[in-house]
Structure 1
Amino acid sequence: MFPKPRPELFPNTFEYESLPMVKPTGFREYDARWLFEKEINLMGMQALGMGIGTLIHERGVRPDIAVGHDFRGYSSSIKMAVVNGLLAAGVNVHDIGLALSPMAYFAQFALDVPAVAMITASHNDNGWTGVKMGIDRPLTFGPDEMGRLREIVLDAAYDLKGGGSYRFVDGFPDIYFKDLTDRPKLKRPIKVVAACGNGTAGAFAPKILEAVGAEVIPLDTELDHTFPRYNPNPEDMQMLHALRDKVLETGADVGLGFDGDGDRCGVVDNEGEEIFADKVGVMLARDISALHPNCQFVVDVKSTGLFNTDPVLRANGARTDYYKTGHSYIKRRVTDLDAIVGFEKSGHYFFNKPIGRGYDDGLVSAIAILDMLDRNPGKSMADLRRDLPKTWGSPTMSPKCADEIKYDVVERVVSKFHEMKDRGETIAGHEITDLITVNGVRVVSSDGTWGLVRASSNKPELVVVVESPVSEERLHEMFKAVDGILRENPEVGEYNQTL
């Protein structure tokens, strides 16, 4: 019988090498994230594989799974530990090797496999590991599946049938490459800076963008799992600034930045302006709704209010649903509403038919941006940005807050805003007109300026975003007011970045 996991063990001890360690907080809302060797060990990852296999059988899903791993020094060994657990649970493993997360999602379709487990820490710093998984394509696990998986693993309630099989799918990157590039080329040459932060996307993005007809200028595309310049995260201003500098240096038409596992894409325009992903989403929504009038979009609660107020989207009959932040939530909502695209401020875009298959792929997003430029030959990326109504927005800002307490802190903040609204108090000198609590709290003031506080789904942090359609001054006033309420909670630490 496989041992029951321990929440904490110490490296370089007999117990650490003999028992599984799995910190319970690693089971997050829609995927799993741990600090490798500090919160989970290899036996713990094997236990996770057994748990995934047990859940597959419990849900009556055909026991076949696609697995892949990102380019971190430890990801391959972690993947094989998960594979061992899957085999013990009687699951047939189809290993696509080094891959982007969207390649693993694509493998579910290309190989006709129902389940997926992608070993990646996405944009998290080195030292982190995790798994993005699903058993119902194109969806990934939500809270129900993650909660049940947590129970199985922590209780060691495995169904170890044995008899699983393993095969390595040779040449799978070529299948993915063909799927994205077997299409008409761009009608005009578009010069693109492709920034990959030395992450996994560097092995794939430049070749794919060149194959669709772009002139590609590579930036930090050499694979290096130490991430020597910056973390591959297109929400990180350090990455965006490096992308901006290269665009201005080379006179590129657009800069595209990809995260560590290639499911997100950040954008810098030809004038070096860093366009937050929700604003790029509005630009894409304009383009797509012109081709598909009266279409449905889904966006997360961190996103700009322009999806509801933009006159072009209104004229095209577009409808937008604001929903919970998180790739699993938005993906599921896109499927449920049969939306044509779902957009997240983080840069996850979920293109549904006829553009995509419903999952998030940074390269599909990049190609959609190039197609938008191709369909507007008289306009630059900066022109398309300027066509949008002006708003002032913040980057995603994340103050530290321990996993064990962050949801309690958010509940306190939600209660505080409810009390303020009930008492007729103002926020940053303006009436509180709305509180959107589908995911944390988005407090909206009478002039349309808003601030969001929610718990991060994959790190020991909170998430803060603010936007104003009025002025930069109002943006700063709202941030100061929201931060002031956060500072009433001593568990909230320093920000990763601020205004």
Structure 2
Amino acid sequence: MLPTPRTDLEPNTLEYEIIPKVKPTGFREYDARWLFEKEINLLGIQALGAGLGTLIHELGKEPRIVVGHDFRSYSVSIKQALTVGLMSAGIEVNDIGLALSPVAYFAQFDLDIPCVAMVTASHNDNGWTGVKMGVEAPLTFGPEEMGRLKEIVLNGAYKSRAGGAYKYVEGMRERYIADLVKDVTFTRKMKVIAACGNGTAGAFAPEALARMGVEVIPMDAELDHSFPKYNPNPEDMKMLHAMVDAVKEHGADIALGFDGDGDRCGVVDNEGNEIFADVIGVMLARDLSALHKNAVFVADVKSTGLYMTDPVLQANGATTKYWKTGHSYIKRYSNEIGALAGFEKSGHFFFREPYGRGYDDGLVAAIALLKMLDRNPDKTMAQLRADLPKTWQSPTMSPHCDDEKKYEVLDRIVAQVQKHSDGGGTFIGQKLRDLNTVNGVRFTVEDGTWGLIRASSNKPELVVVVESPTSEENRNEMFREIEAILAGYPEVGEFNQKL
């Protein structure tokens, strides 16, 4: 087997070519991400595959795995190195080729294969790579599995086994699209912008939507791994603004934006308003709770307070549980409590039967949105949004904080806010009504205005979100309060975007 990985290797050296390089911080809470060549080399990816294969055997799972890759210039080589490592650990690799993450999850069901390893950097900038993994569909790894995988890989504790094999699976793209569209019909004519950011979704979303019978206007659907305009990320304001322009130019009913691996969906309405995904979740919860009385939903801690206060959800008997941010967390918790659907502010939507298989899929979310429009033929997307109580939200804002420091810094921030609360302190001149520390710290004052500070699970950043149900001024004031808190921590750097 391979030597034990190291972190101090430099490219263009002998050691870099014969020893795995693996930076420990690449093992995140629920997936793995590194800057390729700077933080991990191909031998490091091979070691990751050997470690994952070893863990599959350790967990007593059938040694068969689905492997796919996203559209990056280096993703095929990453996948091949991962495959070599998996095979060396005695795993049968079923390669589905270029894929969205939800295509890989679908393949677990379609091929009756328990394990998955999807090579993707999702919405991260070029240069990043990563792997989303799981051994029990529809779930993906959480901290326990990632911690054990990290231990195996960094200690070189992977084990060589016989039985490794490779199979190339043809036609998974068509099988996935056919499964999506098989029962979908609409009575309403709809014009839809399919925004793909030149990422992998360009090879899937426009065709899938067209086969559902809607008029599709593809936007940046040509595959181009240089991402010439912006990263395919439906939370990125550049992508959202481009979607706004496209809606206005074409008179579309809705714009749907997909991220780099197609497991998220962003929305712009017919009037060119960007609707944050947590608000979209409230709209979908309204729609579904009218069909399923006393429905249970899950939302992440970054999400709007409307899930708790919306009068329509209350009238329908709907219940929403706030949980940890992260696709693996929301996916697992939704399945554990039998939720009808889970919603994450980043645009991950998790639909369980009868609408989905429990994993996050941007196109399944798109279908749910179009069905909602179809069930409301006399209303536009903007009118459905206007039916909700008014709140003033922020986008997700992320100040830099090194991976090696962010959790320790966050612990100090949480302790500071807790101490301030315990001492009767105020925010924006109001006493605290609620303090939630399930994932970072979310503090809500008397009028319902709230702010959140947490650590990003997949990038060297903190995450800040604020919202007010009373005024834009209170929202902005809450953000200034958070800025003042973070200014006291020299480890925290510049924001990627601000209000």
Q: Please name the residue that 2:462 is paired with.
A: 462
Asked if residue 235 in structure 1 is aligned to residue 235 in structure 2, the reply is yes
Q: Please name the residue that 1:442 is paired with.
A: 442
Asked if residue 146 in structure 1 is aligned to residue 146 in structure 2, the reply is yes
Partner SS for 1:405: helix
What is the identity, as a one-letter code, of the residue corresponding to 2:326?
Answer: G
For 1:180 and 1:74, locate their aligned partners in 2 and report how far apart those are by CA, in whole Å. Answer: 29
Cα displacement string for residues 73-130 of structure 1 (whole angstroms, at most 9, x for unaligned residues) = 0000000000000000000111000000000000100000000000000000000000
For 1:338 and 1:154, locate their aligned partners in 2 and report how far apart those are by CA, in whole Å. Answer: 36
Cα displacement string for residues 328-355 of structure 1 (whole angstroms, at most 9, x for unaligned residues) = 0000001100101000000000000110
What is the identity, as a one-letter code, of the residue corresponding to 1:444?
Answer: T
Cα displacement string for residues 154-187 of structure 1 (whole angstroms, at most 9, x for unaligned residues) = 0011121132111000111111011001114211
1:92-491 maps to which residues of 2 (within 5 A)? Answer: 92-491=92-491
The question of whether the paired residues in 2 share the 8 Å contact of 1:198 and 1:220 is answered with: yes
Q: What is the CA-CA distance between 1:188 and the residue it aligns to? A: 1.7
For 2:133 and 2:143, locate their aligned partners in 1 and report how far apart those are by CA, in whole Å. Answer: 12
For 1:351 and 1:8, locate their aligned partners in 2 and report how far apart those are by CA, in whole Å. Answer: 43
Partner SS for 1:322: strand
Cα displacement string for residues 235-291 of structure 1 (whole angstroms, at most 9, x for unaligned residues) = 001100000000011100001000000000000000000000000000000000001
Cα displacement string for residues 23-67 of structure 1 (whole angstroms, at most 9, x for unaligned residues) = 000000000000000000000000000000000000000000000
For 2:137 and 2:374, locate their aligned partners in 1 and report how far apart those are by CA, in whole Å. Answer: 31
What is the identity, as a one-letter code, of the residue corresponding to 2:78?
Answer: I
What is the identity, as a one-letter code, of the residue corresponding to 1:403?
Answer: D
The question of whether the paired residues in 2 share the 8 Å contact of 1:264 and 1:361 is answered with: yes
For 1:68 and 1:158, locate their aligned partners in 2 and report how far apart those are by CA, in whole Å. Answer: 22
What is the identity, as a one-letter code, of the residue corresponding to 1:200?
Answer: T
For 1:14 and 1:154, locate their aligned partners in 2 and report how far apart those are by CA, in whole Å. Answer: 20
For 2:213 and 2:319, locate their aligned partners in 1 and report how far apart those are by CA, in whole Å. Answer: 32
Q: Please name the residue that 2:64 is paired with.
A: 64
What is the identity, as a one-letter code, of the residue corresponding to 2:340?
Answer: I
Partner SS for 1:453: strand
The question of whether the paired residues in 2 share the 8 Å contact of 1:8 and 1:22 is answered with: no
For 1:219 and 1:198, locate their aligned partners in 2 and report how far apart those are by CA, in whole Å. Answer: 8
For 1:354 and 1:484, locate their aligned partners in 2 and report how far apart those are by CA, in whole Å. Answer: 46
For 2:293 and 2:404, locate their aligned partners in 1 and report how far apart those are by CA, in whole Å. Answer: 45
Q: What is the CA-CA distance between 1:429 and the residue it aligns to? A: 1.1
Partner SS for 1:116: strand
Q: What is the CA-CA distance between 1:189 and the residue it aligns to? A: 1.4
The question of whether the paired residues in 2 share the 8 Å contact of 1:56 and 1:63 is answered with: yes
For 2:204 and 2:81, locate their aligned partners in 1 and report how far apart those are by CA, in whole Å. Answer: 26
For 2:433 and 2:29, locate their aligned partners in 1 and report how far apart those are by CA, in whole Å. Answer: 29
Q: What is the CA-CA distance between 1:214 and the residue it aligns to? A: 1.0
For 1:303 and 1:163, locate their aligned partners in 2 and report how far apart those are by CA, in whole Å. Answer: 46
The question of whether the paired residues in 2 share the 8 Å contact of 1:29 and 1:457 is answered with: yes
Asked if residue 89 in structure 1 is aligned to residue 72 in structure 2, the reply is no
What is the identity, as a one-letter code, of the residue corresponding to 2:52?
Answer: I
Partner SS for 1:302: coil
Q: What is the CA-CA distance between 1:422 and the residue it aligns to? A: 1.1
4+ residue runs over 2 A deviation: none
For 2:239 and 2:9, locate their aligned partners in 1 and report how far apart those are by CA, in whole Å. Answer: 36
For 2:489 and 2:234, locate their aligned partners in 1 and report how far apart those are by CA, in whole Å. Answer: 29
What is the identity, as a one-letter code, of the residue corresponding to 1:465?
Answer: V
Q: What is the CA-CA distance between 1:292 and the residue it aligns to? A: 0.7
Cα displacement string for residues 441-491 of structure 1 (whole angstroms, at most 9, x for unaligned residues) = 001111100000000000000000000000000000000001110110001
Uncovered stretches (5+) of structure 1, i.e. residues with no partner: none
% identical equivalent positions: 68
What is the identity, as a one-letter code, of the residue corresponding to 2:17?
Answer: E
For 1:182 and 1:354, locate their aligned partners in 2 and report how far apart those are by CA, in whole Å. Answer: 14
What is the identity, as a one-letter code, of the residue corresponding to 1:160?
Answer: S
Partner SS for 2:404: coil
Please tell me the root mean square deviation across aligned C-alpha atoms, in Å. 0.6
For 1:288 and 1:420, locate their aligned partners in 2 and report how far apart those are by CA, in whole Å. Answer: 40
Uncovered stretches (5+) of structure 2, i.e. residues with no partner: none
The question of whether the paired residues in 2 share the 8 Å contact of 1:8 and 1:39 is answered with: no
Q: What is the CA-CA distance between 1:22 and the residue it aligns to? A: 0.2
TM norm structure 2: 0.99
TM norm structure 1: 0.99
Q: What is the CA-CA distance between 1:3 and the residue it aligns to? A: 0.2
Cα displacement string for residues 188-238 of structure 1 (whole angstroms, at most 9, x for unaligned residues) = 211001100000000000000011111000110000000000110000011
For 1:303 and 1:249, locate their aligned partners in 2 and report how far apart those are by CA, in whole Å. Answer: 31
